[in-house]
């Protein structure tokens, strides 16, 4: 395929060199004439393993060239990859000047082209940028229509500097954002197909998603990487004064790919609770303080959790009704353990606001029946114990709001079948696909 690459920095130079190696004809575009001259002279504008050799080879065989004139490149190609910088401003906001200019250049170059053209955004941009900036800018400058005359696709780049060529051929995933699934527009698959035909042979999963999901994924990845670095460093800081080898600790931590390095505990849902997490987070922070060690990430976990719990309470109060059914009281389905269960705290706050509650939890009721947790409820939560009912129907019969507080599968049917005028506040995403009813509210979805 014939490809324009706009922006000859790290991402653009690596992509251009690798795509030329894969047999495509690539024209790089950059307003910086030094970078353009470097490429045309067979030299890489960036220091990156293998890229120098690839640029030399493909500038010589004519499959890789560069220009400062976007129109000249676009006229000779079928698809443009936008790899321009999106630097941060002092206040953290993104500077989209380069992206807007590149989209404008593409739009003006499309005037009179008279054939379909695909535009791929590879720069890292916040959700909404493709839909609200890139597409309108190209439409405005070209007078053409997205999805008809040209297509825009978001394809975030996951390469790491210093291993960028390796990463180009071994991506962790390929994410393609487009207007797929939009009800208001006919999804245009041509640009997506053109982009995917450029992908190197790989076992990486290919995921199609709406624009905003694809845009968000890149930020979630980088926030996660930053959080991991900060977490590891804080573990190092607390281990050091105790003369514990932090690397030995983290080696063991990383061995556990079932719970630690895994998809567990990462889906947005209810605040954490139970007999271990809250207590142990407090203990490690107390221990750090007693050694004068400052742990800003670990030290704020409890505050973060509290914010989440407050949000859950607010969602329920915002339904504006007095009769509420809580389904699920223990901190997770399948246990009767009520120690530091966040739903107990939610129930107490709702009671404090004068709401009428009925609470159903199969395991808590069962344990109460057998006497197992009767003493705990009697000693610690007598006011909550009085509100427990023994079956779901009894809990929901007069409820105007049903709150799902843990993931007992029995609650799926309740949400499916509850009357249309009853509000549902789902704190755990019990429904794989949230129902499309206006009075269904999720905690983070
Ligand atoms: N560097 C990385 O490791 C990496 C990895 C993944 C994603 N990203 C993202 O990719 C994007 C590019 O990053 P980078 O590190 O390659 O940036 P960079 O600053 O190294 O290069 C950007 C290039 O774009 C050029 N440019 C500016 N306006 C232009 C225009 N109108 N037309 C054509 N070129 C133009 C600049 O002259 C510059 O050469 C950013 O959004 C970045 O966040 C970077």
Position in ligand 1 atom list of the atom nearest CA 124: 41
Q: Domain spans of the chain? A: 2-212, 305-442
**Kind and range of the H or E run holding 101:** helix 97-110
Q: Which atom of ligand 1 is nearest to the CA of 32?
A: 37
Alpha-carbon gap, residue 92 to 267, rounded angstroms: 26
223 neighbors 217 (Cβ within 8 angstroms):
no
pLDDT at 182: 61
Q: In the block, which residue shows the tokens 């791929």?
A: 120
What is the rounded CA–CA span in Å between residue 18 and residue 408? Answer: 50
Query: Cα(141) to centroid of ligand 1, in Å?
Result: 22
C-alpha torsion angle, residues 251, 256, 259, 265 (rounded to 10): 30
> Which residue lies with its CA nearest to atom 19 of ligand 1?
85
Write down the residue that tokens 């514990």 correspond to: 244
Q: Which residues of the chain have pLDDT under 70?
A: 181-187, 369
Q: Where are the beta strands (DSSP E) in 297-362?
A: 323-327, 356-360
Task: Using CA atoms of 50, 29, 91, 133 in order, give the dihedral in degrees to the nearest 10.
Answer: -130
Identified catalytic residue from 83, 130, 254, 276: 276
The class that CATH gives domain 2-212 is alpha beta
**Atom 1 in ligand 1: residue holding the nearest Cα:** 10
Give 197-262 as a DSSP string. Answer: TTSPS--S-EEEEEHHHHHHHHHHHHHHHHHHHHHHHHHHHHHGGGT--HHHHHHHHHH-TTTTSS
Verify whether residue 276 is a known catalytic residue: yes
Whole-number Å distance, alpha carbon 248 to ligand 1 midpoint, is 38
Tell me the C-alpha distance between 374 and 177, whole Å.
Answer: 52
Residue list, ligand 1 pocket, CB within 6 Å: 6-12, 29-32, 35, 83-86, 98, 101-102, 105, 123-124, 157, 159, 161
Q: Helices in 6-86 by DSSP H: which ranges?
A: 10-21, 33-40, 51-60, 70-75
Cα dihedral sign, 53-55-58-60: negative
Give the burial string for 433-444 (b: 16+ CB within 10 Å, else e): eeeeeeebbbbe
Q: Which atom of ligand 1 is nearest to the CA of 10?
A: 16
Distance 317 CA to ligand 1 centre (A): 46
CATH topology of domain 305-442: Rossmann fold (3.40.50)
* DSSP class of 146: B
Residue 406 CA to residue 430 CA, distance in Å, equals: 8
pLDDT for the residue numbered 380: 77
For residue 336, what pLDDT is reported?
87
pLDDT at residue 367, as a whole number? 73
Domains 2-212 and 305-442 share a fold: yes
């Amino acid at each position: 395929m014939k490809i324009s690459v706009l922006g000859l920095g790290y991402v653009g130079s690596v992509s251009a060199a690798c795509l030329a190696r894969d047999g495509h004809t690539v024209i790089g575009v950059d307003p910086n004439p030094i970078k353009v001259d470097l490429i045309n002279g067979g030299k890489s504008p960036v220091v990156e393993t293998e890229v120098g050799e690839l640029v030399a080879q493909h500038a010589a065989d004519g499959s890789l060239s560069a220009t400062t004139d976007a129109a000249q490149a676009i006229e000779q190609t079928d698809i443009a990859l936008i790899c321009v910088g999106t630097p941060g401003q002092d206040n953290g906001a993104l500077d989209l000047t380069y992206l807007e200019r590149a989209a404008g250049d593409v739009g003006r170059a499309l005037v009179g082209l008279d054939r379909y053209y695909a535009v791929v955004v590879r720069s890292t941009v916040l959700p909404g940028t493709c839909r609200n900036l890139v597409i309108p800018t190209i439409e405005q400058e070209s007078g053409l229509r997205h999805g008809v005359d040209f297509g825009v696709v978001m394809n975030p780049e996951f390469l790491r500097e210093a291993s960028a060529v390796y990463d180009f051929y071994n991506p962790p995933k390929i994410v393609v954002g487009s207007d797929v699934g939009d009800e208001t527009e006919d999804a245009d698959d041509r640009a997506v197909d053109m982009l995917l035909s450029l992908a190197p042979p790989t076992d990486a999963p290919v995921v199609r998603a709406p624009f905003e999901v694809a845009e968000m994924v890149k930020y979630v990845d980088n926030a996660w990487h930053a959080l991991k670095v900060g977490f590891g460093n804080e573990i190092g800081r607390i281990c050091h004064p105790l003369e514990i080898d932090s690397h030995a600790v983290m080696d063991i931590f990383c061995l556990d790919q079932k719970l630690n390095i895994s998809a567990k505990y990462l889906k947005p849902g209810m605040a954490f609770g139970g007999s271990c997490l809250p207590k142990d987070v407090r203990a490690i922070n107390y221990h750090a303080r007693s050694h004068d060690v400052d742990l800003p990430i670990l030290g704020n976990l409890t505050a973060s959790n509290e914010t989440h719990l407050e949000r859950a309470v607010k969602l329920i109060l915002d339904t504006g009704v007095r009769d509420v059914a809580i389904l699920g009281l223990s901190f997770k389905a399948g246990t009767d353990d009520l120690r530091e269960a966040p739903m107990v705290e939610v129930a107490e706050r709702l009671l404090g606001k004068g709401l009428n509650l009925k609470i159903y939890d199969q395991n808590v009721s069962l344990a109460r029946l057998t006497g197992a947790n009767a003493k705990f409820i009697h000693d610690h939560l007598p006011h909550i114990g009085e509100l427990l009912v023994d079956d779901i129907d009894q809990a929901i019969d007069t409820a105007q709001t049903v709150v799902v507080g843990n993931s007992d599968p029995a609650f799926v049917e309740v949400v499916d079948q509850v009357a249309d005028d009853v509000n549902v506040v789902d704190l755990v995403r019990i429904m794989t696909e949230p129902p499309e009813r206006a009075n269904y509210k999720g905690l983070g979805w």
